[in-house]
């Protein structure tokens, strides 16, 4: 007798729950802000990637309300009738901001990372990815048909050895800021290795754009670099921009190749024209937002100094992502629940999102957080730590 869906999955669901690995969706009842209603309760939110506090910015909402040139739905794929003027202008404005030849929009960062690797690479090619790359980068590599090897996290000596031993067309793939550890890849080394070994380079700058570099241009600008002809940059709008969607930036040949051959671009409905307009408005604010970036970095310093003083096992991150390593999944869940009981929403990150025995609290900071929010978080963490059984 063939199994039912319940036969196959109920034991797996039960096992995940028993291991403190079960996931549930919290219900937000207010706009994305440092202070929110979550599951019907008032919370100070330390889980959002809204790094500059733009997700509920009234200027963005007003720009959308004032526009009468586009409806919410795009109605079709970009290559049919879905490519609106707001999409076109957003791509041009992003290219100008980043100093690249062209930009192509995608509905999500996941789709962008699938598209680049599936399009550029084929059977017999080689993809070399950082061990801690985002799931979308891993899935894109697996779906490409190319050979896929992972090098130890930030271990560029091992990466170079694998480049030296490869005679196939090779793509190096890395996050810029790693989403669970918060540390930064050495973009200068990655670009140098790619140039030396005639490899191509894909960098996902989701957590760097808007936060790093002049005008928030991201990790390449932070290192004083420009994108070369064989480099693809993926950026997302769901973090510092405060909207949704993603893009790929690079050469005209890269972008035209994605338009012609990338299945995740060709066979999907275009993002909302209103979202494109909202993102255009966010880009203007972001480019002029040095005060927001300064405030974010001040909040990061305040939290790190306080956490170090408390003796918390803080991971080496200078980004807005500040993980506290706890190890055990049940312990991470218990700490997260105690924080929520005190009105502080902090997520417990557990395997398989992070390696086994590396469960953690993933605290993310925003320019919108006030000093008293951070001080309250530190005080409650101190209390939890001192009263552990």
Cis peptide before 352 (omega within 30 of 0): yes
Show the CA angle centred on residue 293, arms to residues 364 and 172, nearest 5°.
70
Report the distance separating Cα 186 and Cα 362, nearest Å. Answer: 22
Report the distance separating Cα 244 and Cα 68, nearest Å. Answer: 20
Strand partners of residue 270: none
| H, E, C per residue of 282-302 | HHHHHHCCHHHHHHHHHHHHH
CB distance 286 to 241 below 8 Å: yes
Please tell me whether residue 375 adopts helix, strand or coil conformation. Answer: helix
Complete DSSP assignment for 120-153:
H--TT-EEEEETT--HHHHHHHHHTSSEEEEEPT
Please tell me whether residue 351 adopts helix, strand or coil conformation. Answer: coil
Half-sphere exposure of 83 (CA within 13 A, CB side): 12
Contacts of residues 139-142 at CB distance under 8 Å and 24 or more positions apart, as own/partner, are 139/110, 139/113, 139/114, 140/113, 140/114, 140/115, 140/116, 140/173, 141/117, 141/173
Query: Hey, how many other C-beta atoms are within 10 angstroms of the C-beta on 149?
Result: 15
CB distance 51 to 319 below 8 Å: no
Q: Which residues are catalytic?
A: 179, 207, 239
Q: Positive or negative CA dihedral for 173, 174, 175, 178?
A: positive
What lies within 8 Å, CB to CB, of 199 at 6+ separation is 128, 163, 170, 171, 172, 193, 230
């Amino acid at each position: 007798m063939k199994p039912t869906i319940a036969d196959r999955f109920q034991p797996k669901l039960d096992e995940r729950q028993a291991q403190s690995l079960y996931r549930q969706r919290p219900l937000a009842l207010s706009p994305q802000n440092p202070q929110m209603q979550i599951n019907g309760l008032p919370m100070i939110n330390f889980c959002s990637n809204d790094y500059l506090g733009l997700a509920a910015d009234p200027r963005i909402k007003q720009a959308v309300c004032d526009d009468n040139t586009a409806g919410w739905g795009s109605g079709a794929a970009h290559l049919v009738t879905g490519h609106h003027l707001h999409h076109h202008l957003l791509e041009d404005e992003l290219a100008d901001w980043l100093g690249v030849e062209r930009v192509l929009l995608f509905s999500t960062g996941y789709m962008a990372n699938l598209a680049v690797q599936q399009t550029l690479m084929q059977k017999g090619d080689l993809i070399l990815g950082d061990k801690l790359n985002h799931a979308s980068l891993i899935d894109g590599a697996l779906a490409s048909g190319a050979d896929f090897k992972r090098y130890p996290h930030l271990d560029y000596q091992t990466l170079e050895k694998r480049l030296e031993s490869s005679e196939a067309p090779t793509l190096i793939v890395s996050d810029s800021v790693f989403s669970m550890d918060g540390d930064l890849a050495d973009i200068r080394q990655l670009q140098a290795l790619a140039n030396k070994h005639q490899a191509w380079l894909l960098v996902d700058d989701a957590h760097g754009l808007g936060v790093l570099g002049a005008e928030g241009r991201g990790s390449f600008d932070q290192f004083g670099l420009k994108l070369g002809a064989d480099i693809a940059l993926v950026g997302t709008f769901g973090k510092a921009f405060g909207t949704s969607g993603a893009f790929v930036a690079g050469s005209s040949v890269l972008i035209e190749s994605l338009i012609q051959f990338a299945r995740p671009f060709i066979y999907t409905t275009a993002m909302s024209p209103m979202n494109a307009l909202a993102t255009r408005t966010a880009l203007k604010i972001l480019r002029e937002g040095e005060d927001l970036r300064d405030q974010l970095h001040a909040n990061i310093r305040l939290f790190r100094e306080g956490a170090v003083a408390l003796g918390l096992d803080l991971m080496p991150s200078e980004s807005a992502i500040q993980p506290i390593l706890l190890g055990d999944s049940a312990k991470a869940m218990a700490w997260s629940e105690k924080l929520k009981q005190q009105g502080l929403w902090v997520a417990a990150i557990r395997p398989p999102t992070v390696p086994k025995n590396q469960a953690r609290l993933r605290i993310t900071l925003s320019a919108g957080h006030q000093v008293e929010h951070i001080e309250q978080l530190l005080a409650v963490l101190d209390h939890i730590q001192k009263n552990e059984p």
